[in-house]
Amino acid sequence: MLGAEERDRFFDHLLRMAGSCRSEADAVPRRQAIYLLGFDCRDSSGRWLRDEHRAAAHAVGRSESVQSWVSVRSSAVALAQDGDRDPLEWFVTRGLVDERQEIANLNYGAYWVGEIDRTYVDDGFMTDQRSGRWPGVRLVQRLTARLDVRSPHLMLNAHTLWAMVLARPRILQDQPELRAAAAARIEQVLDAPEVPNRTRQELASVGYAVRLAGG
């Protein structure tokens, strides 16, 4: 709905905001600005995001810090939106490799879709081991709806759904309509030849869990 000049001003403001928010206290608004910059089609913003991702990936090193990996995720998601899916694949295969990171990813997703009704101003909630406090149905619905081979975030959505089913198998047992929707979406994606092997394997596992849950 915005004109070209208004869009440029909006994204220029986000670039300035992301560049100035460097303290730990500013981590959340900075990541939100980075995510939104993925919708900026200008080459200059794409270069800025690639520089941001390289810096975040270099900073994380071998760190197990959830917060450090979330910074990598934000730029990777934005770059995928801009057409470059390699950083997101790197994040999924390198960043989501242990229980703490998987819990953080699920909590992040639950918060994003409104499963968690509290408002947080820092990242502490993501490492909360008591992630069973939120239901999970809304997150599974969201992830299922976004199983689309055309989606730039397919690999992350599929992996998060796979992790969710492992963590909450009863969701599929208790939600027949959700099982049917998941089965249909998974079949569509698996029919596409360009799906990455890891994503194909994880969705095949979810499909098997759907069939088991249906009895």
Averaged pLDDT score across all residues of the chain: 90
Query: Are 91 and 102 members of one domain?
Result: no
Q: How far is CA 112 from the centre of its chain?
A: 10
Domain count, the chain: 2
Query: Are 46 and 110 members of one domain?
Result: no
Residue 31 domain boundaries: 1-95
Has residue 62 got a pLDDT over 70? no
pTM here is 0.91
Q: How confident is the model over 70-94, as a mean pLDDT?
A: 92
Query: Are 82 and 115 members of one domain?
Result: no
Q: Of 45, 74, 95, which closes a domain?
A: 95
Q: How confident is the model over 6-12, as a mean pLDDT?
A: 96
Name the nearest CA neighbour of 116 among 100, 105, 101, 131.
131
Query: Are 151 and 204 members of one domain?
Result: yes
- Tens digit of pLDDT for each residue in 146-170? 999 999 999 999 999 999 999 988 9
